[in-house]
Every structure is written in C-alpha cells, then in structure tokens.
C-alpha cells in the first residue's frame, strides 16, 4: 500500500492496516488464534492466494503477524502482541457495522466462526447458579463453543474432546438475529435455526427477546 505520507497517527495506522482484506486477516487470527495459510484462505472466501500471501508479508514486515515455520507444512500464522492490540479496533468496527448486517446482500458469504466475535459481546450467562453448560454453534469444521458458568461466558474455538450440551446451526441472517435478540428462540425454527440437545442451555445464553421478536 502506498503511504498517505501524513504525520498523523490515524494515517500511519492506515498505512499498515488500511488495505482491503488486511483487517479481515486480523479478524481471522483473533478468532482462530493461530492458523495455517489454507485455513486463512478458507476463512476469507474470494481472496486470491497471491493477494493473501502479499498481505501476510506486509503484516509480518510491520510486526503485526508472526509466521512460525517450526511447525512444518508451511507453518502457522499468529498475531504478535502488537497485532493482538488491534482487537479493540476490530471490536469497535463490529459494533459500528452491526446495524448494517440485516441489510447485507442475500448472496453474502457466511461462515459460522465469524459469529464468535459478536457472540462474545452479546451472549451472557443468565443462570449463574446453575451448572456450567457448553453450547456449540456450527461444527468442528466451522464453529465455536460458548461455555457458560458462574455468571460468565467464554467463547473459544471448538474443542474436539468436548461434548456440548446443545448444538445450534442455521442460516446466517437467522443466527445473527438470534444472538442479537431480534428473534426469540421460540420462533427460530421458522427461520431455519436447528437446535440439537438442550434448548434451555441455548436460552440461558441469549439476550432477552420480546414475544414479538421474530424474523419477517
């Protein structure tokens, strides 16, 4: 990216992360914590491999991403401490962009793990005195676990050895509405959401939705 050439912190930051796809690469590494090139490519549909390679090299050069080749098979990428400091920036973009999500094109790409970031800020444990529960959104290939207990929630990549109390799947627009409280769980099936296992475990996490909260 060509520098803005300005003695300004905003411009200097955009010199590093202002290119198209760059912050989405950061998003993937915030969610996945570490990822191989192929995993990043899978989580960034429509990006050309050579463009992803170039963006990763730029992020390495600026000390945002570390490429660990000791693991073999092309190595893994992870954020440096400076890279992880971008979480607040991504979080603010998430909040700013949330109202526009319902108006995304009908053919917009959707992957379940993308929901893990809003889920971390919207889902809460409403039954702190009950035993801990794990709710899985999606599956081991593309998903995340939400663990609720003692009044806290922990959103993390799916744990292979963990058997969840409930599994939630469905179309992107419906799931966004569910975790935002725009659609009540009782109406979720009408929107294509499927809950396998304990519905009460899922309800425990969701924002309070009015009886009229449903997708139209």
- Residue 171 domain boundaries: 112-205
H or E segment to which residue 154 belongs: strand 152-157
Q: Give the end of a domain, one of 78, 100, 122.
A: 100
Tokens for 162?
Answer: 């963990």
What's the pLDDT tens digit per position in 25-79?
999 999 999 999 999 999 999 999 999 999 999 999 999 999 999 887 889 999 9
Total count of domains within the chain: 2
Give pTM, 2 decimals: 0.90
User: How distant is the alpha carbon of residue 34 from its chain centre?
Assistant: 14
Q: Give the end of a domain, one of 100, 125, 152.
A: 100
Asked if residue 95 and residue 17 are part of one domain, the reply reads yes
Residue 2 confidence (pLDDT): 81
Asked if residue 137 and residue 96 are part of one domain, the reply reads no
Residue 29 confidence (pLDDT): 98
Residue 216 confidence (pLDDT): 40
Asked if residue 46 and residue 26 are part of one domain, the reply reads yes
Please write down the long-range contacts of 202-205, taking CB distance under 8 Å and 24 or more positions apart. Answer: 202/135, 202/166, 202/168, 204/125, 204/126, 204/127, 204/130, 204/133, 204/148, 205/123, 205/124, 205/125, 205/126, 205/135, 205/146, 205/148, 205/153
Domain for residue 107, yes or no?
no
Asked if residue 119 and residue 201 are part of one domain, the reply reads yes
Asked if residue 145 and residue 174 are part of one domain, the reply reads yes
Domain for residue 143, yes or no?
yes
- The CATH number of the domain holding residue 162 is 3.30.1050.10
Q: Give the end of a domain, one of 41, 67, 100.
A: 100
Instruction: For residue 121, give the nearest of 30, 16, 187 by alpha carbon.
Output: 30
Domain for residue 70, yes or no?
yes
Domain for residue 166, yes or no?
yes
pLDDT < 50 stretches in the chain: 215-216
Burial class of residue 71 in the structure, from the number of CB atoms within 10 Å of its CB (0-12 exposed, 13-18 middle, 19+ buried): exposed
Tokens for 111?
Answer: 């992957």
């Amino acid at each position: 990216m060509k520098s803005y050439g300005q003695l300004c912190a905003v411009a200097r930051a955009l010199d590093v992360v202002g290119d198209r796809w760059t912050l989405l690469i950061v998003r993937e590494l915030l969610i996945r914590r570490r990822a191989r090139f192929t995993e990043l490519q899978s989580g960034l549909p429509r990006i050309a491999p050579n463009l992803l390679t170039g963006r990763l090299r730029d992020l390495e050069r600026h000390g945002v991403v570390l490429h660990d080749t000791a693991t073999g098979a092309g190595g893994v990428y992870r954020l440096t401490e400076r890279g992880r400091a971008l979480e607040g920036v991504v979080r603010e973009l998430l909040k700013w962009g949330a109202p526009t999500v319902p108006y995304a094109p009908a053919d917009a790409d959707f992957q379940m793990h993308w929901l893990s970031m809003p889920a971390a800020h919207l889902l809460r444990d409403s039954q702190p005195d009950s035993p801990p529960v794990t709710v899985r959104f999606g599956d081991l290939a593309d998903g995340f676990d939400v663990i609720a207990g003692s009044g806290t929630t922990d959103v993390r990549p799916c744990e292979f050895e963990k058997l969840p109390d409930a599994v939630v799947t469905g179309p992107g627009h419906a799931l966004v509405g569910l975790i935002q409280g725009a659609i009540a769980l009782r109406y979720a099936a009408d929107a294509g959401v499927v809950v396998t296992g304990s519905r009460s475990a899922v309800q425990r996490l969701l924002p309070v939705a009015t009886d009229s909260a449903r997708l139209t």
